[in-house]
Amino acid sequence: MNNSKIKHIAKEVIQVEATAVALMRDRIDDKFQLAVQKIFDCPGRLIVSGMGKSGLISQKIASTMSSTGTPAYFVHPVEAIHGDLGMITKNDVVLIISNSGETLELIELLPSLRKKGLSIIGLIGKKESTLAYKSDICIDTSVEKEACTLDLAPTASTTATLSMGDALAVSLLEIRGFDKEHFAELHPGGMLGKRLLLTIDQLVHTGDSIPFVNKNTNIKDALFTISDKGFGVTGVLDKDGVMIGVITDGDIRRGLEENGDSIFEKTAEFLMSKNPKWIDCDTLAISALELMEKHAITSLFVYSSSTMKKPDGIVHIHDILKTGIQ
């Protein structure tokens, strides 16, 4: 098979699946809205069940629901009729997924679900089917054809069903008022967790690490402090210990260009920049990074309280980048 044919097949697969997903947009109707409301009003959890490829899609939908504020888990239909029905309570709502609408394992599970008095929502690929008829709310996820060249392997149908599951999950997310803070609570691990949870107080340098000079300190000594502490900046304090400005190594370079060696005869107060940027200790690391990038600075002084005379910490852009946050 030549390369051009491979590319043609691959593009056709994407096109067929894109068409299948687009069809789902027209299936967002009153039944969909009723399904969202039923799940939202559920005092228990959403139970998602399916077999084969639909079972895998069920697991993904359950995972997405759980991570966006709708407690949910996957129950295998065969395991359910062999004891796992005990995981399902009368307060739950069940979402069944089947492309054929005739999945025997789900059909066998229905009487037990009915006995518990549970509401059943179906994402069904065939409207004229047993599971479609037996669902309290049936959402049509049928597609014109599979992306498989044999029109057999679940491809477009699974993609379409997954998109409908995402539509349910995101709709529920919105009506629950689920925001970034809630999302962070459920995703403490990995890079996502760092972006949403890592705060500056976990990265800040404190104590003797913080560079400070008095306003009457000569520029040469200020330069030594900047070099010694390694942050490219020093805070400037007045006689009462209040930070009134900062000097960066860039300020000194520009001072040399404009004044020559005579700059070293000046004091820190002469060269300092007033009203420097600073952050609270509970600022998210990603927010601090964005502030640094916006103002082209590499360090920020950190205050644990806005009423303090001087900052009690400092953070360098490298401290943030080393965590992997970008």
Q: Give the pLDDT confidence of 61-101 residue by residue, as tens digits.
A: 999 999 999 999 999 999 999 999 999 999 999 999 999 99
The stretch 121-135 carries a mean pLDDT of 97
Domains delineated in the chain: 3-178 (3.40.50.10490), 200-321 (3.10.580.10)
Q: pLDDT tens digit string along 232-273?
A: 999 999 999 899 999 999 988 998 888 888 888 889 999 999
Query: C-alpha angle with apex 30: 25 to 35, nearest 5 degrees?
Result: 90
Question: Mean pLDDT across the chain, nearest whole number?
Answer: 93
- Judged by DSSP in three states, 261 sits in helix
pLDDT of 6 > 80? The answer is: yes
For residues 22-49, give the mean pLDDT.
97
Strand, coil or helix: what is 74?
Answer: strand
Confidence (pLDDT) at 28: 97
Is the model's pLDDT at 276 over the cut of 80?
Answer: yes
What is the distance, to the nearest Å, from the Cα of residue 9 to the centroid of all Cα atoms in its chain? 34
pLDDT tens by residue, 71-81: 999 999 999 99
Burial tier of 218 (Cβ tally within 10 Å: 0-12, 13-18, 19+): middle
Output the pLDDT for position 40.
Answer: 97
Backbone CA torsion sign across 93, 97, 102, 108: negative
Nearest Cα neighbor of 142 from 106, 64, 154 is: 154
What is the C-alpha radius of gyration for the chain, rounded to an integer number of angstroms? Answer: 30
pLDDT at 1: 64
